[in-house]
Amino acid sequence: MCVTGEESVSFKNPFDATTPLRTGGCRCGHHASQADHDSEMRSRDERLTRVVQSAVVRAIFPHDAARRAFLATVGTSTAIAAIASVFPLATATEVFAQSAAPEKKDLKIGFIPITCATPIIMAKPLGFYEKQGLNVDVIKTAGWAVIRDKTINKEYDAAHMLAPMPLAISMGIGSNPVPYAMPAVENINGQAITLSMKHKDRRDPKDWKGFKLAVPFDYSMHNYLLRYYLAEAGLDPDTDVQIRSVPPPEMVANLRADNIDGFLGPDPFNQRAVYDGVGFIHILSKELWDGHPCCAFAASKEFITTLPNTYAALLRAVIEATAFASKAENRKQIASAVAPANYLNQPEIVLEQILTGTYADGLGQIKKDANRVDFDPFPWHSFAVWILTQMKRWGQIKGEVDYKSIAEQVYLATDTARLMKDAGLVPPTATTKTFSVMGKVFDPSTPEEYISGFKIKRT
């Protein structure tokens, strides 16, 4: 079991052939060999360099196995030299790291008070925005539809959104189509299925027929993961159970009032249900798909193109904050920074349990899982493709879907693509990876086959 935190995948040295791959298994097996790299990466510039290199190397070798084989054959230093000869790594890094004065200093960023928003929120009290010369107000917002409308209205310059939302907005499902971009994922993992105490002996999802379950939004990872989980157990999520869209804070109250049997929701509300003694944590979303994205940092294409320096500064701040949050030793400090009423407005002990991963499960056990929630900014295109396959699987989108191009337009695989274009460089193509959800491997290059492989679907 993972008990020590480690840097997220985008912050790792892309030239290290021994770095464990994200998919499958525990990430902590190579901790000893990682220690010297960790110390290298203390400085911020190093980390930026690494993010850029990571994007470039992954672009050139989109398949992990191929990259690995290449690195193993020629050796790391040769690899760097070889890539630098065809691709100016140093320039790309400089472009990304240069700090031209932002065009607009006073910004408003909307967030929903859940722990997924941690990097966006903590960047304010811990001074990450300030460091980039920005004066950001983070504004708490009442719900996903409101945050969408306020961002479309330009009341917010950027916002915390659910990872599927920028895709949905760009395609115009659930709202008018507005070109949206998602330059960074905020958190990975960090959700859970929480059930009412009365179901503590019904842990097998096969017995859940007739359950009323809640998810935060139709276009959310929560909805897709819950549907996936139920369908794997042989339940049809549309006919065998009732899935409702309920704002997260009301999930706990509804659980107490016995209106719902459980929910797949964001923290802090899973832990809050435990804290208030009304529910228990059935399973962490991490156990369904380790490393799944959940929430994202999103902005309109217009903001990105009209205020490029502001946007770059903002993104730098968010990436910095995400890097800081990905380290286990910083988690306690973060918990106390985001607990006050101005931010998450939750008891500190609840947030600490979520962020450190040492938590009460509601059934009398203390569990430890340092990666219960983790933070990694890299917006893999394959994440977007997976989300699109689920939208199609459940009938939210119909007909032909151009998975690849939508994913590429919306999920800016690190902002480098745009910044490189500005500097006259060739931006990297899509960065994809395969991963598995509940043991079933997903290959982003064959989305239609993936969908037709499911027994329960709406297509």
Partner 1 sequence: MDLSLRFKAHIVTLLVLVALLLAWQLAVGGRGSVVKMDPEYAKLMGANATQGKSAMPGPLEVGTKLWQLLSDPFYDRGPNDKGIGIQLAYSVARVSLGYLLAALVAIPLGFLIGMSPLMNRALDPFIQVLKPISPLAWMPLALYTIKDSSLSAIFVIFICSLWPMLINTAFGVSTVRKDWINVAKTLELSPGRTARSVILPAAAPTILTGMRISIGIAWLVIVAAEMLVGGTGIGYFVWNEWNNLSITNVINSILLIGLVGMILDQLMGRIQRAVSYAE
Residues of this chain that bind partner 1 (CB under 8 A): 113, 137-143, 146, 149-150, 152-155, 249-250, 252-253, 256, 272, 274-278, 340-343, 345-347, 349-350, 353, 359-360, 364-366
Closest CA to 272 of 378, 346, 195: 346
Tell the burial category of 211 from Cβ atoms under 10 Å away from its Cβ (0-12, 13-18, 19+).
buried
For residues 71 and 81, give the distance between their C-alpha atoms in angstroms, rounded to a whole number.
12
Residue whose CB is less far from partner 1, 95 or 317? 317
Residue whose CB is less far from partner 1, 227 or 272? 272
For residues 12 and 22, give the distance between their C-alpha atoms in angstroms, rounded to a whole number.
11
Question: Which residue type does 70 have?
Answer: F
Residue whose CB is less far from partner 1, 162 or 188? 162
CB of 146 to partner 1, least distance (A): 6
Q: Where are the beta strands (DSSP E) in 383-444?
A: 435-437, 440-442
- 438 near 229, Cβ under 8 Å? yes
Residue whose CB is less far from partner 1, 84 or 360? 360
CB of 2 to partner 1, least distance (A): 20
- 382 near 63, Cβ under 8 Å? no
- 320 near 42, Cβ under 8 Å? no
CB of 272 to partner 1, least distance (A): 7
CB of 221 to partner 1, least distance (A): 21
For residues 319 and 328, give the distance between their C-alpha atoms in angstroms, rounded to a whole number.
16
CB of 198 to partner 1, least distance (A): 14
Residue whose CB is less far from partner 1, 32 or 366? 366
* Residue at token pair 């031209």: 100
Residue whose CB is less far from partner 1, 225 or 252? 252
Q: Which two tokens stand for residue 241?
A: 């159970």
For residues 297 and 301, give the distance between their C-alpha atoms in angstroms, rounded to a whole number.
13
Residue whose CB is less far from partner 1, 308 or 347? 347
Closest CA to 316 of 191, 132, 448: 132
Number of neighbours of residue 25 by Cβ within 10 angstroms: 11
Residue whose CB is less far from partner 1, 94 or 276? 276
CB of 78 to partner 1, least distance (A): 51
3-state secondary structure of 310: helix
Angle between helices 331-338 and 348-356 (to 10 degrees): 150
CB of 288 to partner 1, least distance (A): 24
CB of 449 to partner 1, least distance (A): 39
- Angle at CA 190, nearest 5°, toward 187 and 193? 145
Strands 279-284 and 191-196: antiparallel
Residue whose CB is less far from partner 1, 65 or 142? 142
CB of 303 to partner 1, least distance (A): 15
Q: List, as own/partner pairs, every contact residues 328-337 make where C-beta atoms lie below 8 angstroms and the sequence separation is at least 24, other chains included.
A: 328/4, 328/5, 328/6, 328/356, 328/370, 329/5, 331/5, 331/355, 331/356, 332/356, 333/126, 334/118, 334/122, 334/126, 337/122, 337/125, 337/126
Residue whose CB is less far from partner 1, 106 or 449? 106
CB of 139 to partner 1, least distance (A): 5
Residue whose CB is less far from partner 1, 340 or 453? 340
CB of 341 to partner 1, least distance (A): 4
* CA distances to 196, 222, 226, 255, 263 from 259, in Å: 10, 19, 18, 6, 11
CB of 399 to partner 1, least distance (A): 26
Residue whose CB is less far from partner 1, 352 or 415? 352
Q: Which two tokens stand for residue 384?
A: 């977007």
